[in-house]
Structure 1
Amino acid sequence: MNNTAWREKFLLNEDLNFLLTNRIPRVAATRFMGWYSRIRSPVLTRLSIAVWRLFTDLDLSEAREQRFDSLHACFTRELKPGLRPFDADPATVCSPSDAIVGACGPIDGTDVLQAKGSPYPLRELLRSDAIAQRMQGGRYTTLRLTSAMYHRFHAPHALAVDRVTYISGDTWNVNPIALKRVQRLFCKNERAVIECRLSGLGNAPLILVPVAAVLVASIRLHWLNVLLHLRWPGPNVIPCAAAMSKGEEMGWFEHGSTIIVLTPPGLDLAPGIQSGVRIKAGQALLRQRTDGATASLGHTD
């Protein structure tokens, strides 16, 4: 049995997958990975990458560097220049990262979906009734980064960051198996709520919620002079004043995880975007409507 077939057989065994990725001391395993990934040893790194490839479709051909002295350097690798061009259309909000599109849909009530038949309260994810109310009538899109993907994420549009709320929490796996079994999983895990305004779309609100997961040791946001991780208790609310151009790098995860994108009314999914589709950073994720609905863009009350 070749590696691909073995990997598929393993992933199909949901009970085993769930047991091995969730019924372990998740926080302890995550802290261990944070320590282990920073060991500077080219030999150990090559061995670790070889094991990693047994379980994933890791492809390093796009990486700017081809040799790594630690797993951390491989996890957070840069790509060769020009490989993720961002759609320049100002009416387009791009994907901030490479990802698989998960649950997505309109925000027309108090709950949204993490998987089919598994809702969670938006206000609980954001820890804010006010922000949840502000995004009513808009759209949520869940982007899942697998461990083998490019882990850096970028500004999906020209924007200004006003505030980051860091929420410490658990580190459940965020793969589809766990999303079906663990209720309100995104509301349990460590995450950051990034409040933005879309500079080219009337300062309409945009919320990005990077959600950490098992073995994700930290979330790096470049405009903050701090590494957000499980050992950092706060302060939880961090005022910001950061302007970013479309495609500018915002930060990275140190393993696979999820970004939840909350967008205002007047934006619809771009053609071809639906649950299960693989997408790359810079690809059109949502487009501004060309009908009268665009009038709602820019409303921030």
Structure 2
Amino acid sequence: MDALTALTHVLPHQSLSWLARQLAYSKHPRTRAWLIDTVVRRFGVDLEEALESDPRAYESFNAFFTRALTPGVRTPDPDPRALLMPADGRISQCGPIEAGRIFQAKGQSFTAAELLGEGSGPTPFDDGLFATVYLSPKDYHRVHMPCSGRLLETVHVPGRLFSVGPAAVSHVPRLFARNERLACHFETDFGPMAMVMVGALLVSGVETVWSGIEIPRYGRRVTRKDYRNQHIELARFAEMARFNYGSTVIVLLPPGVATLEPGLGAESPVKLGQRLATLTP
């Protein structure tokens, strides 16, 4: 375990993330410019893809970080059977959910039930498929729908805010099931689908297109919101949520509905809209 990963076990996660949020939303010109310039330089952000390519045009660091892309820079796979990659980033892991467990890294796994805040019971995704996509600070930070779906429920699970970088994923047991997260449940033409937005150290918020800010936390207990009677329909490739700093989104699919795109594996670089999986006939 590297020193930074070890340090995150004792850091005051919530306090640091609160401080990061204050900086991210600051409109002070020098603070804003310093934060944006630092991230662009250190991580090699490609501003040519952004709808607004001038870093000085953003009113805050958060506005820069959640920037929109120029229309047409990302396009969905044209095959209607293709389930789409939900975000730019890298695959952390992907594959089958075996006996209800999701692989995290060598020697590390967690259950689909605990990830979703369901305790220890079975889920519709046991023996299905998962894909964990890590968004680095340079990436586009909006998350889009792999397919069309109707929102059923969200489950906010308070928790820790460990880093979700590769070193932490390799060494922190059950990391994604311990960090604060928002599980979004959808009904689709093939059955249930879940999108889990996982918070991380210095992530100052998660927002959804239907409800606005969901994280920072709005409670100390698991909180469910029922949307079944609100008829919220999101189209394939439509934006569904965004991170206010780098983090991870996990897609869960039920068994027997799709096959993952060949060649996808740990550390595969991915782009929004490319094929994640193919629905079975």
TM-score (norm 1): 0.85
User: Equivalent residue of 2:131, what SS?
Assistant: strand
Q: CA deviation at 1:56?
A: 2.1
Aligned with 1:271 (options 262, 267, 276): 262
Superposed displacement of residue 23, structure 1: 4.5
Asked if residue 27 in structure 1 is aligned to residue 18 in structure 2, the reply is: no
**Whole-Å separation in 1 of the counterparts to 2:236 and 2:121:** 23
Q: Which amino acid aligns with 1:232?
A: Y
> Which one-letter code corresponds to 2:196 in the other structure?
V
SS of aligned partner of 1:187: helix
Q: Offset at 1:129?
A: 5.9
Change (3 A) 1:50 1:36: same
Task: Tell me if 1:105 matches 2:95.
Answer: yes
Equivalent of 1:287 in 274, 278, 281: 278
Give the letter for the 1:230 counterpart.
P
**Percent identity over the alignment?**
29
* Structure 1 gap ranges (5+): 1-13, 295-301
Tell me which residue corresponds to 1:69: 59
Displacement of 1:57 after TM fit? Answer: 2.7
**Conserved in 1, the CA contact under 8 Å of 2:182 and 2:198?**
yes
Higher helix share: 1
Change (3 A) 1:43 1:86: same
Q: Could you tell which deviates more after superposition, 90-99 or 231-240?
A: 231-240
Q: SS in structure 2 opposite 1:61?
A: helix
Q: 2:125 aligns with which of 126, 135, 138?
A: 135
* Equivalence map 1:158-177=2 (5 Å): 158-177=148-167
Structure with larger Rg: 1
Rounded to whole Å, the distance in 1 between the matches of 2:12 and 2:89 is 27
Aligned to 1:186: 176
Would the alpha carbon gap of residues 60 and 21 (structure 1) be closer, same or farther in structure 2, given more than 3 Å must change?
Answer: farther
Distance across 2 between alignment mates of 1:145 and 1:235: 25
What RMSD in Å do the two structures reach over aligned CA positions?
2.0
- Per the alignment, do residues 129 and 37 of structure 1 end up closer, same or farther by CA in structure 2, a change over 3 Å counting? closer
Distance 2:207 2:46 in 1: 23
CA distance in 1 between counterparts of 2:34 and 2:63 reads 14
Please, which of 189, 204, 213 is the counterpart of residue 227 of structure 1? 213
Q: Structure 2 counterpart of 1:196, which letter?
A: F
- Judged with a 3 Å threshold, the aligned counterparts in structure 2 of structure 1 residues 132 and 209 are, in CA distance, closer, same or farther, namely farther
Distance 1:131 1:142, change over 3 A: farther
Matched position secondary structure for 2:115 = helix
Q: Does 1:208 align with 2:198?
A: no
Q: TM-score, normalising length from structure 2?
A: 0.90
Task: Give distance in 1, aligned partners of 2:9 and 2:43.
Answer: 18
Residues 225-264 of structure 1 aligned to structure 2 (within 5 Å): 226-233=212-219, 236-240=223-227, 241-264=231-254
Query: CA offsets, 1:209-264, max 9 Å, x none?
Result: 1101011111101112x411234117711111311111111110000000111112
Which residue in 2 is equivalent to 1:57? 44
* Inter-partner Cα distance in structure 2 for 1:81 and 1:131: 42
- 2:109 and 2:61 mapped to 1: Cα distance? 35
Per-residue CA distance 1:39-98 (angstroms, 9 max, x = gap) = 113332222122224542322221111222210111110011111111232211101111
Give unmatched runs, 5+ long, in structure 2: none
Residue deviations 1:93-125 (CA, integer Å, cap 9, x gap): 101111201111112303211112211122111
Tell me if the contact between 2:101 and 2:126 (Cα under 8 Å) persists in the aligned partners: no
Q: Report how far residue 190 of structure 1 moved.
A: 0.8
